[in-house]
A and B are shown apart, each in its own frame.
Chain A
Amino acid sequence: MQAYRVGLTAASIPDPLVAFSEALVRRAQNGDAEAFAELIEDQYDRIYRTAWRWCGNAHDAEDIAQDVCVRIGQSLASFDGRSAFSSWVYRVTLNMVRDWQRAGRRRGAYVDAYAEIAPTEEAPSQEDAATSSQLWGAVRKLPEKQRDAVLLVYAEDLSHAQAAEVMGIKEATVSFHVHEARKTLRGLL
């Protein structure tokens, strides 16, 4: 029936992965614990990755990811499907990162992060590592909105529209924040 649907309507073909996770969300919202377990398992890696990029520290990222998972479990029922589920997860994660950083836990521990990359991954050349480290440090010190916009667009590889949905702002505002970030960082980079 797939072909038929494509033939008859102009709507874009739904991404099977997205459709699958949306089905999981609905099942979980109806109280299906197995569906929730599957759902959160799917999401964990992405949550962790996001948390890591935002705080730059594996310990914090693990803790934040766990808090995000718990928060999702508690408030899945309040997810109303107005935005994509993935956007909602981003929003929960970003809020958690902000709470976490405002609470001042383990602040300034970014430095450790770079020590941890090197052994696990193929060592980048000295110069690259330095630049990269400098860049990440600078990005993370940006004002919150600018940082979120830059990381969502460039690190998470979202479109401006998707980033706008996550941040709950207009698409043009995302572009503006990215532009501002560039201006702020021009001196540094």
Chain B
Amino acid sequence: MTDHRPDPFENLGNTPLPPPRSEARAAALAAARAAFAEAEAKKTDAVTQGSGRRRRLMSITSIFKGFSIMDMRIPVGTAAVALLLLPLGYQLYSTTAMTSVTEAPRPQIQQPVTAPVPPAPAEESMAAVPQQGTPDMAAADSAAPAAPEPMLFETEAAPAKRVATPITVMPAPAPAIAAQQSDAYSAVPAGGMANRSIAPGEFGRMAPQPSGDEFTKFDEQRLKVAAEEPVSTFSIDVDTASYSYARRMLEDGYVPEPDAVRIEELINYFPYDYPAAPSAEVPFQPTLKVFPTPWNAKTQILSIGIRGYEPPAEAIAPSNLVFLIDTSGSMDEPDKLPLLKRSFALLLDQLSDKDTVSIVAYAGSAGVVLEPTRAGEKAKILSALDDLSAGGSTAGADGIELAYRLAEEGKTNGTNRVILATDGDFNVGIDNPDALKQFIAKKRQSGISLSVLGFGRGNLDDATMQALAQNGNGNASYISNFAEAKKVLVEEVGGTLHTIAQDVKIQVEFNPALVSEYRLIGYETRHLEREDFNNDAVDAGDIGAGHTVTALYEITPVGAGQVDPLRYGNTATATGGSEEIAFLKMRYKLPGESVSQLIEQPVTPEVVYDNITLAGPDAQFAAAVAAFGQKLKGSVYGADMTWAEITALAKAGRGEDEGGYRAEFIRLIGDAALLEPDAK
């Protein structure tokens, strides 16, 4: 600056200003509030799909009065593009395995294209107008400014309407979607298809929008013909994260995304009263039952229940637990780190003095908060936990490696486990998800497993959580509140900490002479190939002390099948002269062993019950949970069961319900029924 005088510009800030007159201020504020209210009202209008239709149509006429046709070039173009791109986009979306972070426009999939929209016929005909000759009109309306500021409309109102318009108008994508669905679910058990049309309540369905959580996409288990594919193989699953997540969403007033609902996790959330196994050598025995399907009169459910052996306390080898705790800023919410701290104290009470605990914190960088410490030194552990807030961010190795190193140091002959507690920040030092999975899988072979505890909602990466836990032979649990923490860390701690059988696989062979079709409910993400069953190198789920696992098959007896028999097929199926419905085989490894054991049991007519009530409360309850899951997912199976029927079934199956979990589930059905009402 060559200027030797003081910078004249400096004075600009010092010039005193007259204060605004209070009347002017009040007027401006009132005007702003009015504008805001108006904008809000319009925003609501734009979202409305039901009665908003009529209003939009009326505004078309008013636009024709005031505007020349030339003004509509852009909207017409937009409509044309929308008409072309929307079906194409859907096609692409549904044929790739890409997981969408933002929710797919679900109502579209379920738009009852074939079924007429039940509300007033007048509305129906109004909606039909644009369909016949002038799709342009409707589109023009969507972008048409109804107020003097078109720019604002472009940004807020128009996109919403533009999406809405093609749905009501466009006939094209509908058959494509229908075709796709029937592709994916090539057939439905007898009677299932009849109720494909979806309730009008779908229109009012609250979009499962607000979560930023990610889920692995999967197709629902399809119906299989027993004569063609008599063998069904899968790995057991003791995860329960899906139920806790769905519950939280429903309690907050949202319908969870379909991919977030894994029916087997819903079913396995609840304890069932299966007979316990007698000894550690045969750590579980199957409980088999066949009973009528509540949602389909023509089919039956085959229920396979197992319960892990519960060793006496003195037989339990010491555990070595390393907690890898996410202390990033986002964990600073009441339902995250503070909840974790409180639930941690619960866990400590469950540990014996032989067990060791260590803590590693990671945020941007990682550090050891607590070196391996005897669980008896509660005060030391708890104070380390309390300090977590203040001093976790010491520089050090990458979080996950540090945690595994501590686990190696304190390795015992019992359980060695790293427990990762996070709200979705998997920035644990290894960036590449595949590399991370490999790392965990490698450590698993050296005897250190991994469990994941998910906290909070919003950026929970469920897919990664599942993948990590599955690779680490652990389980993924979602902790939404203190009661849940109590369930996972106290009541199920035995199962979480003390694995009684590893790589548990289930294979069921159906007798085509008695069963024409079958469908496994859930376990989509746990599918195994038939040849994997006897291959001990193939990994599968582990089962802990006292864990119960339930698998349900919907089976169709011969003669009632949905799929026509082949004209040129082998008409005389070999029956084997057996009365067995199916044959169950289970493989497992005792902890630390590499050779698997086999359990076999036929499904005989003795376990068939003519009435679901006779099959006992557990059967009723499991069936109710399955029906709930299917309905919540918008499945093509069992959607015709009403919420009231599901509630009645669940109530009938409530039984003792010591933890109150089943009562809570019944309440949850009520929440879901409010969000997605049944057809009247």
The distance from the CB of B458 to the nearest CB of chain A, in whole angstroms, is 13
Does B10 reach chain A (CB closer than 8 Å)?
A: yes
Cβ contact within 8 Å between A73 and B35: yes
Does B31 reach chain A (CB closer than 8 Å)?
A: yes
Chain A, residues 22-39, CB within 8 Å of chain B (1/0): the string is 000000100101001100
Cβ contact within 8 Å between B29 and A44: yes
CB neighbours of B156 from chain A (8 A): 75, 77-78
Cβ contact within 8 Å between A36 and B36: yes
CB neighbours of A156 from chain B (8 A): 13
Cβ contact within 8 Å between A75 and B152: yes
Report if A121-B16 is in contact (Cβ < 8 Å); known contacts: A33-B33, A48-B25, A73-B39: yes
User: Which DSSP category, helix, strand, loop or mixed, fits chain B's interface?
Assistant: helix
Q: Which of A40, A150, A189 contacts B33 (CB 8 A)?
A: A40
Cβ contact within 8 Å between A66 and B24: yes
Cβ contact within 8 Å between A154 and B10: yes
Does B68 reach chain A (CB closer than 8 Å)?
A: no
The distance from the CB of B613 to the nearest CB of chain A, in whole angstroms, is 48
Cβ contact within 8 Å between B389 and A3: yes
The distance from the CB of A184 to the nearest CB of chain B, in whole angstroms, is 12
Q: Which of A3, A40, A71, A151 contacts B390 (CB 8 A)?
A: A3
CB neighbours of A61 from chain B (8 A): 20
- Total number of B residues with any Cβ neighbor in A under 8 Å: 49
Q: Which of B15, B24, B328, B389 contacts A62 (CB 8 A)?
A: B24
Restricting to B366-412, which residues have a CB under 8 Å from any CB of A? 388-393
Cβ contact within 8 Å between B13 and A155: yes
Does A52 reach chain B (CB closer than 8 Å)?
A: yes
Cβ contact within 8 Å between A69 and B29: yes
Report if A7-B391 is in contact (Cβ < 8 Å); known contacts: A33-B36, A37-B29, A70-B35: yes
Cβ contact within 8 Å between A37 and B393: no
CB neighbours of A135 from chain B (8 A): 8, 11-12
Beyond A69-B35, A73-B38, 15 additional pairs, beta carbon < 8 A: A4-B390, A7-B393, A33-B33, A48-B25, A53-B15, A66-B24, A66-B27, A66-B32, A75-B151, A77-B43, A77-B155, A117-B15, A131-B11, A151-B12, A154-B10
Could you list which residues of chain B lie within 8 angstroms of chain A, going by C-beta atoms? 3, 8-13, 15-21, 24-25, 27-29, 31-40, 43-44, 149, 151-152, 155-156, 327-329, 332, 361, 363-364, 388-393
Could you list which residues of chain A lie within 8 angstroms of chain B, going by C-beta atoms? 1, 3-5, 7-11, 28, 31, 33, 36-37, 40-41, 44-45, 48-49, 52-53, 58, 61-62, 65-66, 69-78, 116-117, 120-121, 131-132, 135-136, 139, 150-151, 153-157, 178, 182, 185, 189
- Nearest 9 interchain pairs by C-beta: A4-B389, A73-B35, A69-B32, A73-B36, A66-B28, A62-B24, A78-B155, A121-B16, A154-B9
